[in-house]
Amino acid sequence: MLGFLLILALATVTAAFGQSASAGAAPVIQIENVPLPVVIENLARQGGINFIIDPKVSDSAPNVTFRWENHTAELALRRLLETNGLHLVRSSISTVSRISVTNRLAGQVNTDWVRADTNAVPLIQFSYMELDLALKQLAKDAKLELEIDSAITRPALSPGKPPTTPTFVSVRWENLTIRQAIAALCENYELALHADPVTNRIRIGPRR
C-alpha cells in the first residue's frame, strides 16, 4: 500500500505552488505495484465520482505501476481505465457511473419512478453486503414495500454444476437519492425492477 500513499499527499497539491497544469491537478501521481481496483477506488473518491464496478470486470485484475504529471483525479482515472480496456459509463438517471468492459449503457430502470424521489442522502455505504440485503435495506429506508426474487443472490444447486454464490456489494456513494441507489444496483447487476405507483410496492428479479 505504500506505493499508493503518495497520491493521497500529492492530490492535495494544486496550482497554488505553480506546479500544476490545471486547477485541481496533482503535480505527480506515482503508483507502484498497487492492485488496479484499489487505484480505481481511490482515484474515483478523490475525483468525487460515485461509481460501481460491473461484475463482468475480472476480479483477477493486475497490479499497476505508473507516473503521470499534471493530472486531475478524474483524468488519471479515465486514463487508467482506458489503459486497462475499461470504460467509465455515466448513468442518465443517477450520479453513479459504471466501470465496465463496454461503453454501452445498461438497460435502465423506469426514469419517472427514479426521479419521483428528490430527497438526496448524504452518504450510502455498503461494505461487502449481499446484494439482496443491500436492496432490502435501501427499500426499508425509503419506506418501499419490496418483493425480491430469491434467485438473485442465494446459492442454488443444480445437478452436475457447481453451486452459485451470493453477489456481494461494496459501495460508497454521496448525495444521491435512495431510488437512484436502487436503480444503480439494478442496472449494474442486470436486474428488472417493476414499480406500482399506487401501492408504493416494487418487485426486483433477474432480467429475462
**Average pLDDT of the chain, as a whole number:** 82
Tens-place pLDDT, residues 26-77 = 888 999 999 898 899 999 999 999 999 988 886 667 899 999 999 999 999 9
pLDDT of residue 160: 62
Q: Cell numbers at residue 93, please? A: 438517471
Strand 50-53 and strand 96-100: the pairing is: parallel
> SS3 string of the chain?
CHHHHHHHHHCCCCHHHCCCCCCCCEEEEEEEEEEHHHHHHHHHHHCCCEEEECCCCCCCCCEEEEEEEEECHHHHHHHHHHHCCCEEECCCCCCEEEEECCCCCCCCCCHHHHHCCCCEEEEEEEEEEEHHHHHHHHHHHCCCEEEECCCCCCCCCECCECCCCCCEEEEEEEEEEHHHHHHHHHHHCCEEEEEECCCCEEEEEECC
Tens-place pLDDT, residues 108-133 = 788 889 999 999 999 999 999 999 99
21 pLDDT more than 50 = no
| Domains of the chain from N-terminus onward | 2-100 (3.55.50.30), 111-206 (3.55.50.30)
pLDDT of residue 101: 85
Instruction: State the average pLDDT over residues 181-198.
Output: 90
In 10 A of CB 72, how many CB atoms? 21
95 pLDDT more than 70 = yes
72 against 151, higher pLDDT: 72
Band of residue 163 on the pLDDT scale cut at 50, 70, 90: low
pLDDT of residue 154: 64
Q: Cell numbers at residue 117, please? A: 424521489
pLDDT of residue 194: 92
Q: Contacts from 56-59 at CB under 8 Å and sequence distance 24+?
A: 56/100, 56/101, 57/86, 57/99, 57/100, 57/101
142 pLDDT more than 70 = yes
11 pLDDT more than 80 = no
